[in-house]
Chain A
Amino acid sequence: MNALLKHRLTWPVLALVLLLLLNQVFRADFLSVRLQDGHLYGSLIDILRNGAPTILIALGMTLVIASRGIDLSVGAVAAIAGAVSCTYIYTSPDPSSLRTAAVAVALAVVAGLVLGLWNGFLVSVVGIQPIIATLVLMTAGRGLAQLVTDGQIISVSNDSYQSIGAGFVLGLPISILIAAAAFLAAGLLTRRTALGTLIEAVGINPVASRLAGLNARTITMAVYVFSGLCAAIAGLMISSNVTAADANNAGLYIEMDAILAVVIGGTSLAGGRYSLVGTLIGALIIQTLTTTVYTLGIPPEVTLVFKALVVIIVCLLQSSRARTLLKQRRRPVTATSDVKVAI
Chain B
Amino acid sequence: MNEIVPVVDLRGISIEFPGVKALDGVDLRLFQGEVHALMGENGAGKSTLIKALTGVYAIDSGTITVLGEQHRFAGPAEAQDARISTVYQEVNLCPNLSIEENILLGREPRRRGGIHWKEVRRRARAVLERLNLGHLDPGSVLSSHSIAIQQLVAIARSVQVDAKVLILDEPTSSLDTEEVQQLFAVIRSLRDHGVAILFVSHFLEQVYEISDRMTVLRNGRLVGEFMTRELPRMSLISKMMGKELDALTELDRSDVRTRPDRTDAVPLLLAEKLGRKGSVGNVDIALYEGQILGLAGLLGSGRTETARLLFGADRADQGQLTIRGTAQTLRSPRSAIDHGIAFSSENRKEEGLIGDLSVRDNLVLAMQASQGWLRRIPAHQQDQLTEKFIGALDIRPADKDALIRNLSGGNQQKVLLARWLITNPKLLILDEPTRGIDIGAKTQIQKLISTLAGDGMSIIFISAELEEVLRLSDHIAVLKDRRMVADLPNDGVTMEDVMTIIAGSAA
Spell out A's residues near B (CB within 8 Å). 192-195, 197-198, 200-201, 204-205, 207-215, 219, 272-273, 340-343
Contact = CB atoms under 8 A, between A and B. Distances in A.
Interface in B351-388: 351-357, 361, 365-366, 368-377
Contact of B354 (A192, A193, A201, A342): A201
A213 B334 contact: yes
B313 A204 contact: no
Contacts of A208: 345, 350-354
Given A198-B368, A210-B333, A211-B333, A192 B353 contact: no
Given A193-B374, A211-B345, A212-B369, A343 B409 contact: yes
A29 B368 CA distance: 52
A273 B333 CA distance: 24
B350 A213 contact: no
Contacts of B419: 212
B356 A197 contact: no
Contacts of B409: 343
A213 B370 contact: yes
A270 to B, nearest CB: 10
Nearest to B376: A194
Contacts of A211: 311, 313, 333, 343, 345, 351-352
B406 A340 contact: yes
12 contacts: A193-B375, A193-B376, A198-B369, A201-B361, A204-B355, A208-B352, A211-B343, A212-B419, A213-B333, A213-B334, A213-B370, A272-B356
A89 B376 CA distance: 42
B377 A213 contact: no
Interface in B144-200: none
Contacts of B462: none
Contacts of A192: 376
B18 interface: yes
Contact of B377 (A194, A212, A341, A342): A194
Given A193-B374, A212-B365, A343-B409, A273 B356 contact: yes
A212 B333 CA distance: 7
Contacts of B18: 342
A212 to B, nearest CB: 5
Contacts of B353: 205, 208
A213 B366 contact: yes
B408 interface: yes
A192 B378 CA distance: 9
B369 A197 contact: no
B153 to A, nearest CB: 27
A100 to B, nearest CB: 35
B337 interface: yes
B352 A194 contact: no
A202 to B, nearest CB: 9
A197 B351 contact: no
B334 A204 contact: no
Given A208-B350, A341-B406, A197 B332 contact: no
A104 to B, nearest CB: 31
Contact of B368 (A194, A272, A273): A194
A214 B355 contact: no
Nearest to B353: A208
Interface string B414-436: 00000100000000000000000
A193 B365 contact: no
B373 A193 contact: yes
A243 to B, nearest CB: 40
A31 to B, nearest CB: 38
B316 to A, nearest CB: 17
Contacts of B375: 193-194
B307 to A, nearest CB: 11
Nearest to B17: A342
Given A212-B366, A213-B370, A197 B357 contact: yes
Given A204-B357, A210-B333, A194 B351 contact: no
Contacts of A197: 357, 361, 365, 368
B337 to A, nearest CB: 4
A207 B350 contact: yes
Contacts of B356: 200, 204, 272-273
Nearest to A342: B18
Interface in B63-112: none
| A-B interface, 7 closest residue pairs, ranked by CB to CB distance from nearest | A213-B369, A194-B376, A213-B337, A195-B373, A214-B369, A212-B366, A194-B373
A158 B36 CA distance: 84
Contacts of A214: 334, 365, 369
Contacts of B354: 200-201, 204-205, 208-209, 212
A211 B419 CA distance: 12
Given A193-B374, A194-B373, A200 B357 contact: yes
Given A194-B376, A210-B333, A212-B366, A201 B408 contact: no
Contacts of A215: 334, 369
Nearest to B342: A213
Given A213-B370, A215-B369, 8 more contacts: A193-B373, A193-B374, A194-B373, A197-B361, A197-B365, A207-B351, A273-B357, A342-B18
Interface string B326-337: 000000111001
A192 B375 CA distance: 9
A90 B337 CA distance: 53
B341 to A, nearest CB: 10
Nearest to A198: B373
A216 B375 CA distance: 17
B373 A201 contact: no
A214 B371 CA distance: 10
A272 B356 CA distance: 7
B332 A210 contact: yes
